[in-house]
């Protein structure tokens, strides 16, 4: 597994308890290390943080009744196109990223 480091964000301090969203960065992409691995809430917040300056705030804003980010990407040249979706409607969240 790659190594991760949690970083401070105005809404999510790096030292927040596990289970609360935290933004992370990859500090070593090589597998083999041990340490705290990101949870799904960390992955969603980090993705939205890297997507735009306002995506995290919109996702967590209770006045925004529906939030959705969808897209496609290619893992490597010539690899299969992968689809993803992050959706929030009121207090429900769906993260869709199909397995290979």
DSSP codes joined into one string, 22-83: -EEEEEE-SS---SPPPPHHHHHHHHHHHH-SSHHHHHH-TT--EEEEEEEEESSTTPPEEE
Question: Which has more confidence, 34 or 50?
Answer: 50
Residues 6+ apart with CB under 8 A from 99: none
Max Cα distance, the chain (Å): 43
* Spatial separation of the C-alpha atoms in residues 46 and 32, rounded to whole Å: 22
Q: What is the pLDDT of residue 27?
A: 83
The structure's pTM equals 0.81
Q: How high does pLDDT run on average in the chain? A: 86
């Amino acid at each position: 597994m790659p190594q991760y480091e949690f970083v401070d964000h105005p809404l999510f301090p790096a030292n927040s308890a596990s289970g609360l969203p935290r933004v992370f960065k990859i500090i070593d992409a090589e597998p083999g290390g041990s340490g705290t691995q990101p949870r799904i809430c960390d992955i969603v917040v980090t993705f939205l943080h890297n997507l735009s300056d306002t995506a995290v705030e919109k996702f967590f804003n209770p006045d925004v009744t529906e939030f959705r980010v969808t897209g496609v990407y290619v893992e490597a040249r010539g690899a299969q196109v992968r689809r993803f979706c992050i959706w929030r409607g009121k207090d429900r969240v769906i993260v869709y990223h199909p397995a290979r």
